[in-house]
């Protein structure tokens, strides 16, 4: 084979391998379309009568398992999940939880044909693109994009509050209260983490417990019988990530006193 033919073959092989590599990565719109059916909004009623909103995702269609944050369902009385198609399901109980990882594995009751998200078996790299799907401030199935900003052990985060274990992903993917428990996805459609918290007073410093701990949770769940939801220990006693306090909403009332002018009256209401 002459030199020109060898060079042409090398370029062809490079083109094919590059094309295959790029084909593994989905566009944002395709990623949302593929993964959103497996995501849920979680509405919780706690034992003190208060209510909360969180997020989660299906990881096992046969067992009908949902993964979410422990702090979403800790000290809860009842919970229901809502899918993107508006169908709902009751949470029957839990099969496993890790307070130090801020994770809970829930079982739902439904006849719906479920779609599950695959959980990555290796950590992402720093700089990898990520997407979150959740219900920030109750805005169900919101998608946001960012990158993995850092990979940290729980010991590095103890200075900021609760005792945390395992490996955590620091991300620039925007999340807010209500996003908790939702998936942090890579652009192949795999779950690389569960969105858990943000650092208050900082610029977009968000954290997700990694896929390594999610897989641990699922494996433990296969060995434990179903338990009632109300048996989950209150978050404060468990030492996990606390639930966010009720936030204040800024309400912008339009029109203002004068018509046809760009003036806004801003009032502060309790959420």
Residue with tokens 């399901």: 89
Angle at 56 between CA 145 and CA 193, to 5 degrees: 50
What does the pLDDT read at residue 253?
37
Q: How far apart are CA 169 and CA 160, in angstroms?
A: 15
Give residue 233's pLDDT band: very low, low, confident or very high (50, 70, 90). confident
Q: How confident is the model at residue 137 (pLDDT cuts 50, 70, 90)?
A: very high
**Statement: residue 239 has pLDDT above 60:** no
The mean pLDDT value for 187-205 works out to 91
Q: CATH says 32-112+218-238 is which class? A: mainly beta
* pLDDT over 80 (residue 152): yes
Does the pTM exceed 0.85? no
Rounded to whole angstroms, how far apart are CA atoms 149 and 127? Answer: 6
Q: Tell me whether residue 48 is one of the annotated catalytic residues.
A: no
Catalytic residue, chosen from 43, 55, 71, 179, is 71
Lowest average pLDDT, out of 6-15, 146-155, 244-253, goes to 244-253
Q: Which of 76, 97, 102, 144 is catalytic?
A: 102
From 144, 180, 197, 198, the catalytic residue: 180
24 is catalytic: no
Is residue 180 annotated as a catalytic residue, yes or no?
yes
Task: Give the SS3 label for residue 126.
Answer: coil
Question: CA dihedral defined by 56, 93, 122, 129, rounded to 10 degrees?
Answer: 0
Least confident of 2-11, 203-212, 249-258: 249-258
How confident is the prediction for the chain on average, in pLDDT?
84
| Contacts by residues 119-122 (CB-CB < 8 Å, ≥ 24 positions apart) | 119/59, 119/190, 119/191, 119/211, 119/214, 119/215, 119/218, 120/186, 120/190, 120/191, 120/192, 120/211, 121/211, 121/215, 122/211
Give me the residue spans of the domains in the chain. Answer: 32-112+218-238
């Amino acid at each position: 084979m002459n030199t020109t033919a060898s060079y042409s073959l090398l370029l062809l092989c490079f083109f094919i391998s590059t094309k295959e590599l790029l084909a593994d990565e989905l566009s944002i719109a395709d990623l949302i379309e593929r993964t959103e059916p497996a995501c849920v909004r979680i509405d919780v009623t706690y034992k003190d009568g208060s209510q909360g909103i969180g997020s989660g995702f299906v990881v096992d269609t046969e067992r009908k398992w949902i993964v979410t944050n422990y702090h979403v369902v800790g000290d809860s009385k009842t919970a229901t999940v809502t899918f993107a198609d508006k169908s709902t399901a009751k949470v029957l109980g839990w099969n496993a939880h890790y307070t130090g990882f801020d994770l809970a594995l829930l079982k739902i009751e439904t006849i719906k044909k479920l779609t599950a998200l695959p959980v990555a078996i290796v950590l992402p790299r720093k700089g990898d693109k990520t997407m979150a799907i959740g219900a920030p401030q109750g805005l169900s199935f919101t998608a946001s994009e960012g990158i993995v900003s850092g990979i940290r052990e729980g010991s590095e985060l103890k200075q900021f509050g609760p005792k945390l274990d395992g490996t955590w992903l620091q991300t620039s993917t925007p999340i807010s209260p209500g996003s908790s428990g939702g998936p942090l996805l890579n652009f192949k459609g795999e779950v690389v983490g569960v969105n858990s918290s943000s650092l208050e007073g900082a610029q977009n410093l968000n954290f997700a417990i990694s896929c390594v701990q999610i897989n641990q949770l699922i494996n433990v769940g296969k060995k434990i019988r179903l338990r009632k939801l109300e048996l989950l220990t209150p978050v404060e006693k468990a030492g996990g990530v606390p639930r966010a306090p009720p936030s204040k909403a800024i309400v912008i009332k339009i029109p203002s006193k004068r018509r046809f002018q760009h003036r806004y009256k801003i009032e502060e209401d309790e959420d």
